Amino acid sequence: MPRPVPEVNSSSQADIAFMLLIFFLVTTTMDVDSGISRVLPPPADESTKNEDQDIHQRNILEVLVNRSDKLSVEGRRTDLSQLKDKVKEFFLNPNNDPDLPERREAEIPYYGLTTVSKGVISLMNDRGTSYGMYIKVQNEIARAVNELRNEEAISKFGKPYESLDEDKQRAIKKYLPNAVSEAEPEEIKAE
């Protein structure tokens, strides 16, 4: 009589595979991309590429960061903690100051015909500027615009900006655009 071939008991293989899967999921770390969330403007078409845009100096807020991570706004040394308030004042121009941006008329849903700031923030940094300082400056500018939009949402609609529907958020974005122009990094003289 032939001897039976011994069989391997495979009843626990599924359990082992499941435990290995759980071990892999618990011990593995997933890289999460981090950075600045920006929506880039669409590429310029040929008709607008060669147009010179006439922007008056009063409509530009110059923000410079040198290689020593020193910040200057409009040529004056500024502390990072003051940047948010300077950006807010620049876009609002509450006293119709002739040194702050002009306003233009625009038709905006929920607002009708209203005036909107022509202001643009020109951000320039030195090639030696640290990435950390660059991010801090970007965050302060974004924080200023977000605060302005939130204040406007509460004033106009009685709710925070994040609680509004997309149409109302879009209207506030048109009323308070985030106009930031970033120049290529270059050598900026130390102050």
**Predicted confidence (pLDDT) per residue in 167-186, tens digit:** 999 999 999 988 888 877 66
Question: How far is Cα 91 from Cα 61, in angstroms, rounded to an integer?
Answer: 9
pLDDT, tens only, 114-128: 988 888 999 998 888
pLDDT in tens, 78-102: 999 999 999 999 988 877 788 888 8
CA distance 105 to 114: 5
Q: Which helix (H) or strand (E) holds 151?
A: helix 131-157
* Domain locations in the chain as residue ranges: 56-182
pLDDT in tens, 122-159: 999 888 889 899 889 999 999 999 999 999 999 999 99
Judged against a pLDDT cut of 60, whether residue 48 lies above it is answered with no
With residue 114 as reference, give the H or E element that holds it.
Answer: strand 112-117
Q: pLDDT category, 164, cuts 50, 70, 90?
A: very high
In whole angstroms, how far apart are CA 149 and each of 13, 122, 123? 58, 20, 21
Among the listed residues 100, 136, 105, the one whose alpha carbon sits nearest the alpha carbon of residue 121: 100
Residue 187, both tokens: 């050598």
